[in-house]
Structure 1
């Protein structure tokens, strides 16, 4: 018997385009900011990952629009 795990990717769009992404992995939700060479962090829930991504945007940035891909 085999098990298939569904993984998802959310792309965050700010006022100037893509600002980052969140992907679901076995360890949790992984945040990567646009243009970054490394992972910003791994979080236990999608909501905490969204908050972390927003907190790494420039001060005063509006909440990004998250679209699942």
Structure 2
């Protein structure tokens, strides 16, 4: 399967979803791909929820930002 076919399949799946969720793990920070991931999310017009896994996680607040989830981090979840 080529890259174009994979992108088309992913877009088709996400466009069918009622409330699609994209999850980016800690590898996004390590590989410095956070800005690329945000650009990808913006391309679809999705909102963002940040779940910090380390103390040094940085994320820019932007349009569609729905907040931080710290329940699991603080032991409330």
The structure richer in helix per residue is: 2
Instruction: Report the TM-score, using the length of structure 2 for normalisation.
Output: 0.30
- Larger relative contact order (CA 8 Å, sep ≥ 6): 1
The structure richer in strand per residue is: 1
Bigger radius of gyration among the two: 2
